[in-house]
Amino acid sequence: MLLKKEIENQFLLIDKFSNKNFWESFSPSLEIEKKKLDYKINFNKKENKENIENVVHQGYTHFKNPGLKIPLDHIKRTIKALSEKNLPPVFIFAYDELWNLQYQMNSFLKKLLDTEYLQLPDFWAWNVKPGQSGWKPHRDKSGGTLFEDNTPKSITVWIPLTKAVPDNSCMYILPANHDKFYNLEKPFGLDYGFPGDLTDIRALPAEPKDVLVWTQHVLHWGSNSNSRHVLEPRMSIAYEFQRSDIAAYNNPLIKPNEIPSFEKRMALIAKQIIQYTHMYGFKDDLVALAKALLKKFQQTVSN
């Protein structure tokens, strides 16, 4: 049973975290409900064709410096400040810049998925410190996310905010064309052993503002970082999207050409903490806070 003081502290936290002014003062260099979706990268036909072929054949593609516009220093500084407060970096999604960023890949995603594609309520941010790792080997979804010809029904977009190399934890992937379980409903994880040869594993070092796109059935992971490296901690963000003509993999689906209200963002951030608690073992007080925020703003998520 919570003591009276603990209950009062919980209410104070809910009021603080649900207050837009708090987040504006937390990172004055970033904006809330001020930016517009006014920029997207226009890829030519050749670039679209090559990258779509990569996704279908090997399960992923790597855009090297495609032209993202992003205030890297401000975002990295805010993620660092969140970590120093023992808050998950996913709170960075309180700010316009993170919603603006996903839209910049709009023209390619329309070609890869469909013109009315939708954003899933599944996103995250990482700050992988020396000796830590990204997520363990996994497939983002268990099955049913690919057509028979391996074109995707849903995809993940991963963007490094710092240099990502083996020393500070870059992405590793088993290319689809080397995965004997690819596009099969089962097995999902590694219950039947690794589905390829170890020599097939591919490291994907990346520079800040590169973009990796992969299908949600390709096997991938963030490597363990060197505990003695002197690079920046690996910071990155990820978004998930699906076609508009299939049933939702998770709700509520979000229109990628609209920036959610502050209230909806907070509800969505809370949802991430709740649904990814099993990955991190978040403390009970953080989970309780997330549940309270979600309850407070539940109506905005449904709209």
Rounded to the nearest integer, the mean pLDDT of the chain is 93
Nearest to 95 by CA among 18, 39, 31: 31
**How sure is the predictor about 300, in pLDDT bands with cuts at 50, 70 and 90?**
confident
Per-residue pLDDT tens digits for 262-275: 999 999 999 999 99
Among the listed residues 16, 17, 20, the one whose alpha carbon sits nearest the alpha carbon of residue 33: 20
In 3D space, the residue among 42, 268, 64 whose CA is nearest the CA of residue 276 turns out to be 268
Q: What is the rounded distance in angstroms from the CA atom of residue 15 to the CA atom of residue 11? A: 6
Note down the domain range covering 67: 4-302
pLDDT band with cut points at 50, 70 and 90 for residue 9: low
> What value, to the nearest 5°, has the Cα angle with vertex 239 and ends 236 and 245?
165
Q: Closest Cα to residue 293, out of 11, 7, 4, 6?
A: 11
Tell me phi and psi for residue 54, to 5 degrees. Answer: -60, -45
Structural domain tally of the chain? 1
Q: What gap in Å lies between CA 179 and CA 218, rounded to an integer? A: 8
Question: Encoding tokens for residue 79?
Answer: 């993620």
pLDDT tens-digit profile of 122-151?
999 999 999 999 999 999 998 899 999 999
Q: How far is Cα 50 from Cα 53, in angstroms, rounded to an integer?
A: 5
Q: What is the DSSP letter of 130?
A: T
Question: Is residue 5 pLDDT above 60, yes or no?
Answer: no
Q: What is the CATH number of the domain that holds 128?
A: 2.60.120.620
pLDDT digits (tens, 9 = 90+) for 150-208: 999 999 999 999 999 999 999 999 999 999 999 998 776 677 889 999 999 999 999 99
Can you give the pLDDT at residue 13? Answer: 80
| 12-69 residue pLDDT tens | 788 899 999 999 999 999 999 999 998 999 999 999 999 999 999 999 999 999 999 9
Q: How many residues does the chain have?
A: 303
